[in-house]
Copies of this chain bind each other. A is one copy, B any other.
Amino acid sequence: MASSRDGYSWTEKQGLKSGVPCIGTIQPPTNLDRASTEVFDVIVVGAGYCGLTAARDLTTSGILVADNPGSRLGLRTLLIEARDRIGGRSWSSDIDGYSFELGGTWIFWGQANVWREILRYQMQDELVSSYDFSKGLNKYILVNTERAQHFTHEEEDEMMESGLRKLVNVDGEYGKRVIPFPHTAAFTAEALRYDKMSVADRLSEIKDSLTPNELSGVEAFVLLCSGGTLETTSFFEFLHWWALSDYSYQGCIDYLVKYKFRGGQSSFAIRFFREALASGNLSYAFNSPVAEIDDTKDFVTVSTRDGKQYRAKRVISAIPLQVMNNVVFNPPLPSGKRTAASIGHVNQCVKVHAEVRNKDLRSYTGIARPENGLFYAFGDGTTPAGNTHIVAFGGQNGHFDPEDNIGTTARKLQGLVPMDIERLVFHNWSKDEFAKGAWFFSQPGLLSNHLGDMRARHGKVIFGSSDWALGWRSFIDGAIEEGTRAALTARTDLAPSQLKGKL
């Protein structure tokens, strides 16, 4: 299996190694003829789930002119990607027969867009649960500066649910009145108000009602979601996650951290890519960071950093918000979009996988507050070697670069629970120039001021990203939602005029 440049792995024997195996690495990186001067129907910039969905939908479907049945169906599409692999912020590495998820991981059947694809590719029986509460150390361990307390998982659930319900219960209906319908761009008046607040603001309102352990749990859970700080986390956006998760802690667990692919996210993403490829309509160029998108002529010209130029009738930009201002747009992006991009999101999640020799840790969950760098962790699987796979999360609070000093990283893991580490696997999203952070999470005000700006098209350039999805924003589901929307927009644009009203 080819390795991506992305990611790190460490074992005592091997030391720290940059680049990990990934079935989503595409070799050779392009199928373009060097001399090609084709004007594509659509160029898709970015091969994460949004771009992959758009490329698949465009290449495999299209509009036939009704009175010209011989015309070609399916749109000629060029997929341009800065990295050497598909998947964007969701990708997995297969090491010794086991998948480590370097980015977005979990999906659930209540997420319409991703679940539809899982059914479509008949992968519903390839899911595994991250949790297994049948092993020895079947505990929730809450570490703070004074001590480590052990609880059963039932006690964990009770504390988390009780704390979170106090956090979200701004309306006597646990957030349901504020966000009755979590799949719309329309904000209720109350929702607007809560987007002006941070979670820190909200916590200061209710802190007297929370027990110290509830507060620790709530803080850790919110920071797990946002990857920011309590001050930079929009309270509305947290409520939105809560609403999407059926307004319950159990829903949060089911939706956010439970089911993953046995073969890893890249085993799913590759299905989209292969299907697009099988259409015969897909060209692609990996290792091709985009420098400029020029929409001042009949066709849009996309220039890469290495000086290549490609032309198309439409461009779908699946460039993440956080790095959008790295690309020159001509004409310049409208100020709302530029402002949103310069504000960016707050998520500097640090996700570290540890393969450990402690079998009992399979059933462990725990948090360490307030300042351990890695503050939330749980048993995430059992490797073929019989070791336990622990996944641990940090964020903006006490942010660190795990590759800088493996000893420090190991100590932060030990700060959660003692473990005998055999292997570490991680990707540094904060230093990733094509992401500059992990999944989207908004600071107060960004969504109510700029969601519409982020979603708007700009001339012949259509913008799609999980970062501004309506429903499962920040999730794989939202990326597919947006890829679907972007492809349909381009397809409608390019339809013969007599068909436009009919789609």
Q: Which of B114, B119, B181, B484 contacts A471 (CB 8 A)?
A: B119
Q: Which residues from chain B contact A65 at a C-beta distance below 8 Å?
A: 280
Q: Are B73 and A62 in contact (CB under 8 A)?
A: yes
Q: Are B74 and A64 in contact (CB under 8 A)?
A: yes
C-alpha gap A109/B472 in the complex (Å): 11
Given contacts A109-B471, A277-B502, contact A186 B125 (CB under 8 A): yes
List the number of copies, as a whole number.
2
Given contacts A116-B113, A124-B470, contact A503 B274 (CB under 8 A): yes
Q: Are B275 and A119 in contact (CB under 8 A)?
A: no
Q: Which residues from chain B contact A181 at a C-beta distance below 8 Å?
A: 127
A217-260 near B? 1/0 per residue, CB < 8 Å: 00000000000000000000000000000100001000000000
Given contacts A112-B112, A246-B251, contact A278 B73 (CB under 8 A): no
| In the complex, residue of chain B having the shortest beta-carbon distance to the beta carbon of A113 | B116
A61 at the B interface (CB under 8 A): yes
A198 at the B interface (CB under 8 A): no
Given contacts A66-B280, A125-B184, contact A110 B113 (CB under 8 A): no
Q: Which of B109, B120, B275, B499 contacts A485 (CB 8 A)?
A: B120
A93 at the B interface (CB under 8 A): no
SS class, residues of chain A in contact with chain B: loop
A267 at the B interface (CB under 8 A): no
A299 at the B interface (CB under 8 A): no
Please, how many residues of chain A have a CB less than 8 angstroms from a CB on the other chain? 51
Q: Which of B69, B113, B120, B275 contacts A280 (CB 8 A)?
A: B69
A329 at the B interface (CB under 8 A): no
Q: Which residues from chain B contact A116 at a C-beta distance below 8 Å?
A: 112-113, 116, 484
A50 to chain B, nearest CB (A): 13
The residues in A between 60 and 82 inclusive whose CB is less than 8 angstroms from any CB of B are: 60-66, 68-70, 72-74
Q: Are B495 and A278 in contact (CB under 8 A)?
A: yes
A363 at the B interface (CB under 8 A): no
A115 at the B interface (CB under 8 A): yes
| In the complex, residue of chain B having the shortest beta-carbon distance to the beta carbon of A185 | B125
Which of A112, A275, A277, A281 is the most central at the interface, judged by chain B CB atoms within 10 Å of its CB?
A112
A290 to chain B, nearest CB (A): 26
A111 at the B interface (CB under 8 A): yes
Chain A residues packing against B (C-beta within 8 Å): 60-66, 68-70, 72-74, 109-116, 119-120, 122, 124-125, 127, 181-184, 186, 246, 251, 274-275, 277-281, 470-471, 481, 484-485, 488, 495, 499, 502-503
Complex A-B: 23 CB contacts under 8 Å: A60-B61, A60-B62, A60-B63, A62-B73, A62-B279, A64-B281, A66-B278, A68-B280, A73-B281, A109-B110, A109-B182, A112-B112, A112-B114, A116-B116, A119-B470, A119-B471, A119-B485, A120-B484, A120-B488, A124-B470, A275-B503, A277-B502, A278-B495
Q: Which 4 A-B pairs have the closest CB atoms?
A: A112-B115, A64-B280, A73-B73, A110-B110
